[in-house]
Amino acid sequence: MRKLQLLLLCLLIAPLSILGQEEDPVIAGIIKEANENSQLEPLAHELMDLIGPRLVGTPQMYAAHEWAVAKYGSWGIIAENQQFGTWRGWERGITHIDMVHPRVQSLRGTQLAWNPSTSKEGVTAELVVLPMVKDSLEFAKWLPSVKGKLVMISMNQPTGRPDYNWEEFATEKSFEKMKEARDEQTRMWRENFENMGYNSRTLPKALEDAGAVGIVTSNWSRGFGVNKIFGARTKAIPTVDLELEDYGMLYRMVASGKKPQLNIVALSKELGEMPTFNTIGEIRGTELPNEYVILSAHFDSWDGGTGATDNGTGTLVMMEAMRLLKKFYPNPKRTILVGHWGSEEQGLNGSRAFVEDNPKVVEGTQALFNQDNGTGRVVRISGGGFLNSYDYLSRWLAAVPKEITDEIETTFPGSPARGGSDYASFQAMGAPAFSLSSLNWSYWNYTWHTNRDTYDKIVFDDVRNNAILTAILAYMASEDPERTSREKAVLPLNPRTGEPREWPTPRSPNRRGGME
């Protein structure tokens, strides 16, 4: 009997709730506009192609903040740039890396971020590689020989083919053989660094102090033609990264005694201490203006590519969602904020500063939705360790089209993040913040912090779905009759200590970076 009643109840409720969603003019409007008048492509073109990469402290980062405020203004959304600190100002110029001996060939590579500029003529010198040494004494004896030389400090990879390519075409035996040899080579390479008494962070400075005239790296990202590009650690000499193919060729030439020479032109400008910002946009709440639904995505990027998927796509999702909300839900119950955080890549600095500077907003946060792991459609949402998150998140998700939620796996109550992206800054303060986690699309190897993180990698259909998802979640969170519960779940045991894990604690941002 009870089963029958339940069944009848389900039959009664189901069509009503489906009807309810379809007829909700806000949700219907959001979906129609997102599909028929998407602004994602022009926004992506302007941000990635025209403004370019958004390294903290660069004029491009500043231009992006200005662009976002103007764009929000054109949609009738109030936005502003809030300064939270400063960073070493630097502007990337031209990089040209040419082999000039034993033959001439232009090479594929680039200077690392914050690289000290060469002269216009650049540096021309012979390449050397690191010796295999027994101990730091032997290395110290070798060190003076780098005077006047360019030093290659990355391991020479045995193959430029990614493992998935070997898996597809190699015999099993030969794939195993390659992997074993590479593991052994990697082990010896690490051991040699220990013997030298340096690591990859401290070595460039030691080589510079010993009179080297440049550092050459190859930070392969295990995909065809793809390298990760981070910051230089030299003060006056250039540090450039070469793609695996060119790096390997030069390495073999050094090994066979051909004494290859490069000419490196790596121009840049030092701009002194520059302000760092968050761009904050707002659609003011009408009933509960001191409660907040926050859309969140970091705005900065590394600068080997144009930061298209880290985090151009997260940025596009939040901008497009704000546009949709302003158009179909201009008078929200709670205040809807968007945070485009600065300097996430150097340690969540923008969002950590925001939570530090805006305790009332953190206190009034109904929910925060962050997206920051690539272009893919959202496939995972975790309750972030909030005990009752299932109640409200599933209520909100029920209003999202099934074709979008069918792709999403939820975990409740989940655990809070200990870093990784900006929602962690809010979770550490106990605010219900959630990560909209994307399908991989080869993110870790091909686009994350690489020279291939560019417009062509954006999958607009997935980004469009994410904008619809985010806008509807924000709408539902804003309209919810109830304030969200912040009750924390008892976290799982830490296998090392046998004690329950502790909730992460807030950390202060770096408000003056790169100026030492």
Comparing CB distances to Zn ion, the nearer of 218 and 311 is 311
d(Cα 223, Cα 220) in Å, to the nearest integer? 8
Comparing CB distances to Zn ion, the nearer of 296 and 388 is 296
Tokens 């190859």 found at: 218
Comparing CB distances to Zn ion, the nearer of 263 and 451 is 451
- Rounded to the nearest whole angstrom, what is the least distance from the CB of residue 487 to Zn ion in the complex? 29
End-to-end distance of the chain based on CA atoms, in angstroms?
Answer: 75
Comparing CB distances to Zn ion, the nearer of 311 and 351 is 311
Cross-strand partners of 443:
none
- Rounded to the nearest whole angstrom, what is the least distance from the CB of residue 344 to Zn ion in the complex? 6
> How many Cβ atoms from other residues are within 10 Å of residue 357's Cβ?
13
The residue from 38, 86, 118, 311 that contacts Zn ion (CB under 5 A) is 311
- Rounded to the nearest whole angstrom, what is the least distance from the CB of residue 298 to Zn ion in the complex? 6
Query: Under a CB-based contact definition with an 8 Å cutoff, are residues 51 and 42 in contact?
Result: no
- Rounded to the nearest whole angstrom, what is the least distance from the CB of residue 373 to Zn ion in the complex? 7
- Rounded to the nearest whole angstrom, what is the least distance from the CB of residue 189 to Zn ion in the complex? 29
- Rounded to the nearest whole angstrom, what is the least distance from the CB of residue 374 to Zn ion in the complex? 9
- Rounded to the nearest whole angstrom, what is the least distance from the CB of residue 507 to Zn ion in the complex? 17
DSSP state of 143: G
DSSP state of 50: I
Query: Under a CB-based contact definition with an 8 Å cutoff, are residues 316 and 47 in contact?
Result: yes
Comparing CB distances to Zn ion, the nearer of 303 and 372 is 372
Residue type present at position 280:
I
Query: Under a CB-based contact definition with an 8 Å cutoff, are residues 157 and 225 in contact?
Result: no
State CA 256 to chain mean position distance: 40
d(Cα 25, Cα 31) in Å, to the nearest integer? 10
Site for Zn ion in 355-394 (CB under 5 A): 372
- Rounded to the nearest whole angstrom, what is the least distance from the CB of residue 448 to Zn ion in the complex? 8
Binding segment toward Zn ion, per CB under 5 A, in 84-92, 176-184, 227-235, 309-317:
309-317
Comparing CB distances to Zn ion, the nearer of 334 and 377 is 377
Binding segment toward Zn ion, per CB under 5 A, in 155-163, 230-238, 259-267, 306-314:
306-314
- Rounded to the nearest whole angstrom, what is the least distance from the CB of residue 115 to Zn ion in the complex? 22
Does 303 help bind Zn ion (rule: CB under 5 A)?
no
d(Cα 275, Cα 231) in Å, to the nearest integer? 19
Site for Zn ion in 76-135 (CB under 5 A): none
**419-422: long-range pairs with CB below 8 Å, 24+:** 419/348, 420/372, 421/298, 421/344, 421/348, 421/370, 421/372, 421/373, 422/296, 422/297, 422/298, 422/339, 422/341, 422/344, 422/348, 422/350, 422/351, 422/370, 422/372
- Burial state string for 243-261 with b = 16 or more CB within 10 A and e = fewer than 16: bbebbbebbebbeeeeebb
Does 310 help bind Zn ion (rule: CB under 5 A)?
yes
Size of the site for Zn ion (CB under 5 A): 3
Does 320 help bind Zn ion (rule: CB under 5 A)?
no
d(Cα 448, Cα 302) in Å, to the nearest integer? 9
Binding site for Zn ion (CB under 5 A): 310-311, 372
